[in-house]
């Protein structure tokens, strides 16, 4: 063989370069990766939970729901009355109201009893839909719009249904939310 010739046998390196080594997933490595992922998930969801815990939006949502539940019941109470049992119905009106509305109910109670007894009608209300349109948690006031169907049952006659749209001004009291003002919402003709 001459000096210029290359040897014919090639020599293989028994230890390939580190960049060529195949990465092997061992049970220990898999477990370490899972623990790392679990720790990251715990940090993420724990942080999200802490942010939600201190969010004023949750308190506002809870208060809005409380107003809505109470306003629905108030709308039913103030539109349900039976001429055969007027006293307890008017008591319910008073328990459902506060402020000037309560004062009005108390001042006109005898007149209301007389009118209901003379007309000999019973009314039963159903709230079809309701929504809180305004809420001031600090002031303890809210405005609720309610669509109410009132079934009117005159004695000896067929029942009819009247549809009303009400705006209730609600005020927070120690006993929950009560109506402080009630108004019919007029719809354009």
Residue 162 has what pLDDT? Answer: 95
Say which CATH architecture domain 57-184 belongs to. Roll (3.10)
CA 9, CA 124: separation in Å to the nearest integer? 104
Instruction: Compute the C-alpha angle 61/134/129, nearest 5°.
Output: 80
Residue 25 has what pLDDT? Answer: 82
CA 185, CA 120: separation in Å to the nearest integer? 26
Residue 127 has what pLDDT? Answer: 98
pLDDT tens sequence across 34-48:
899 999 999 998 888
Which strand (E) or helix (H) includes residue 176?
Answer: strand 176-184
Provide the percentage of residues in the chain whose pLDDT is more than 90: 70
Q: Where are the domains of the chain?
A: 26-53, 57-184
Which strand (E) or helix (H) includes residue 134?
Answer: strand 121-136
Residue 6 has what pLDDT? Answer: 56
For 145, the token pair is 């719009």
Residue 11 has what pLDDT? Answer: 54
- pTM score over 0.75: no
List, in sequence order, the alpha helices (H) in the chain. 27-53, 56-77, 86-95, 99-107, 109-119
Q: Which residues of the chain have pLDDT under 70?
A: 1-21, 53-56, 189
Residue 102 has what pLDDT? Answer: 97
Residue 89 has what pLDDT? Answer: 95
């Amino acid at each position: 063989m001459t000096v210029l010739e290359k040897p014919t046998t090639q020599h293989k390196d028994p230890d390939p370069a580190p960049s060529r080594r195949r990465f092997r997933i061992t049970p220990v490595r898999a477990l370490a990766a899972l623990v790392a992922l679990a720790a990251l998930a715990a940090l993420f969801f724990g942080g999200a939970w802490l942010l939600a815990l201190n969010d004023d939006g949750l308190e506002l949502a809870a208060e809005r729901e409380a107003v809505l539940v109470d306003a629905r019941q108030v709308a039913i109470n103030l539109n349900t009355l039976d001429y055969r049992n007027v006293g307890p119905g008017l008591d319910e009106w008073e328990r459902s109201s506060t402020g000037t509305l309560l004062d009005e109910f108390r001042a006109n109670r005898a007149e209301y009893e007389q009118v209901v007894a003379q007309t000999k009608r019973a009314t039963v209300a159903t709230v079809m839909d309701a929504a809180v349109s305004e809420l001031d948690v600090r002031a303890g006031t809210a405005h609720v719009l309610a669509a109410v169907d009132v079934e009117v049952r005159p004695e000896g006659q067929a029942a009819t249904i009247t549809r009303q749209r009400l705006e209730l001004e609600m005020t927070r009291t120690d006993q929950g939310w009560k109506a402080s003002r009630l108004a019919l919402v007029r719809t354009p003709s």
